[in-house]
Structure 1
Amino acid sequence: MYRIIVVVLLGALGWAACDQVAPVRFVPEYVVESYQIAGEPLQPVWLTRTLPLEARYVPDSVRVRGAQVRIALLDAQGMLERWYPYEEHPEAPGYYVPVPLVREVRVRPLRRYRLEARMPDGTLLTAETTVPDTFRVLGVNLDSVRYRSEVRLELFMTRSEYPGRQAVYIITTEALEPTEENLTPLGRALYEDSTFTLDEMRVSGSPILNEAHYVEAADGTLRLQLPWLAVLFYGPNRVTISALDDNLYDLIRTQSVQQGGSTLSPGEIPAVLEHVEGGRGVFGSYARVQYTFVVTR
């Protein structure tokens, strides 16, 4: 998830630059990035600043030091139930982690959390997320599958729940042995025709999945087929299926429009939805299941 916000912000800034009829004075903004995972310990928070388009990116120059960060668990009425304080990691400026006392606290599914980050200049950045429900893999049809065979990997899983709408998913595939020798034909074509490194290609992701990508059984369980486009390397691969909260759902679907995944004309392209007050970025959550399989030649 970490690279999503970088791409989104670059796209958003590029679109803003094209949309202006006259130069405007650059005003730095604070950027948050944090992804909470249902059933897993509280996750870190990254805080940075935006840069002018012409500025050279130097990590130390954009990291926000000395902020006061905390996350609240809210009750059903949106009132405070408990605070979880964070501290800046001593070896990583701008990287905030839960204090030791709450480091093993698990994120509760179907609960709402609120982030508050007070910047050194007094600016308050806030955001909220409702965590999707957990789900699980019930079984798979194969542990090993031949690349591009007619029989694809199928996962049988329970359904995640989300308040007010159907659950939406994305698939990511992580190659566990991402070597040049293990590139699939699609992976090799991407590698040779682009500037991507093997490490950058190690993890590939799908668009948001709709009902056309899975089959629902009578008992409500789902059967999902792994698309071959998600497989760039032979050998062991870890597939992750993530159910998204509203913040990540809005970010990813509007990001795809900004990057050309739409037939809308330029004047109709909507802005990227970020759901952050006092800054930019994403404070989102998701539930996930994972399974490791082998792709053979």
Structure 2
Amino acid sequence: MNPTASCILVLFLVSGCELYNQEQYQEYYAVEAYLIAGHQMPSVWVTKTTSIDDFFYWDSVGVSNANVQVRLLSNDHAVSESYGFMHGNHGKYYPADSVIVKSNRWYQLKVDLPGGDVIVAETFVPGTFKTVKQPKPAYLYQGEVPIEIVSTRSSFPGRQTYYYITVNAENPVENKLTPFYRDLVNRNGEFIKAYIKNTIGITNEESYQTNKDGNIIIRVPWAAIAFYGQNDIVINAIDDNIYDFLRSQNGQRDARLSVSLGEIQNIRYNVDGGIGIFGSMASVVSRVEIKKP
């Protein structure tokens, strides 16, 4: 099964208006793209932010006349290859040619905006890895047998690998909610769509046990399972940009509970000339069925 960015991460576009101080609103250009090692070059979103008080519609935020390029860089950050993009609609740009993203390489996003502004961001794509022991086809929810996946290791220069694991439900309907999440929806008024792509957050390589071959053993906690039925477990080795964004986003949300608005830390975008994410990852996907006890 081939992972796509839409089934792995939805980080910025759906929550962008919350990620800066709305009391001091300023319009920004925003970009979003996720490169996946070994997969086709993804589309790139180029949009403008809106005030939380404004009515949102795509025609008002999409930037249609930008010049978008993604560049493969050499080790010394010189441009080795450049890939053009074509505008589709609502600020979504599609690769002009079929290009496979390479692992363990630097890529640069360059967006020339109307009026002369430029957005630039860079990402280093983590090393690919593979599943060497698939989970069982089906598990009894909260049964004695845990969901366990054994994989080789990804790699990233200068640090251990950070993983971001999601559990994506195939049929996320109310009558398939597991007990904990059913209570959240029924008692607290939570939205089901918040749990379609559930996550256990960021984990690091050293937190996992290894087998005799040095492969890592990943156990998915039952708390991450929001729906019975078919679920895709997506293991992502993430780059620094996604890591920084997720950590600072979580820190900002936590801080809202205890500090004043002026003390809340800024989101780390790692984007020059705008905000957003130009991130990358290596990913594997396993499908399991979760059965009612």
- Whether the TM-score (by the shorter chain) exceeds 0.5 is yes
Matched, 1:244 2:241: no
Aligned equivalents of 1:5 and 1:230: distance in 2? 22
Instruction: Give 1:168's match in structure 2, choosing from 151, 162, 182.
Output: 162
Specify which of 112, 122, 127 is matched with residue 116 of structure 2: 122
For 2:222, give the aligned amino acid.
W
Are residues 1:61 and 2:60 paired? yes
Matched, 1:152 2:146: yes
- Structure 2 vs 1, CA of residues 7 and 94 (structure 1 numbering), >3 Å: closer, same or farther? closer
Structure-1 residue corresponding to 2:90: 93
What does residue 103 of structure 2 align with? 109
Q: Which runs of 4+ in 1 moved over 6 A?
A: 261-264
Report the alpha carbon displacement of residue 212 of structure 1 after superposing the two structures with TM: 6.8
Which secondary structure state, in structure 1, belongs to the residue aligned with residue 121 of structure 2? strand
Partner Cα separation in structure 1 for residue 184 and residue 17 of structure 2: 22
Contact 2:210 / 2:217 at 8 angstroms: preserved in 1?
yes
The TM-score normalised by the length of structure 2 is 0.90
The 5 A counterparts of 1:161-200 are 161-200=155-194
Normalization by structure 1: what TM-score?
Answer: 0.89
Give the alignment partner of residue 272 of structure 1, picking from 264, 267, 271.
267
Per the alignment, residue 290 of structure 2 pairs with: 295
Q: CA deviation at 1:215?
A: 0.9
Structure 1 unaligned segments of length 5 or more: list them: 19-23
Alignment match, 2:3: none
Partner of 2:19: 12
**Alignment identity in percent?**
33
Following superposition, the deviation at residue 160 of structure 1 comes to 0.3
The gaps in structure 2 that reach 5 residues or longer are: 1-7
Q: How far apart, in 1, do the equivalents of 2:255 and 2:287 lie? A: 30
- Cα distance between partner residues in 1 of 2:162 and 2:119: 27
Cα distance between partner residues in 2 of 1:38 and 1:264: 39
Which digits, 9 at most, give the CA deviation of each residue in 1:214-260, with x for residues without a partner? 21234321001001121111111110000000000000011111111
Structure 1 residues 58 and 7, CA, compared in 2 at 3 Å: closer, same or farther?
A: closer
Query: What residue in structure 1 maps to residue 5 of structure 2?
Result: none
The count of residues paired between Structure 1 and Structure 2 equals 284
**How big is the shift at 1:271?**
1.7
User: 2:160·2:206 contact (CA, 8 Å) conserved in 1?
Assistant: no
- Letter of the 1:97 partner, please give it: Y
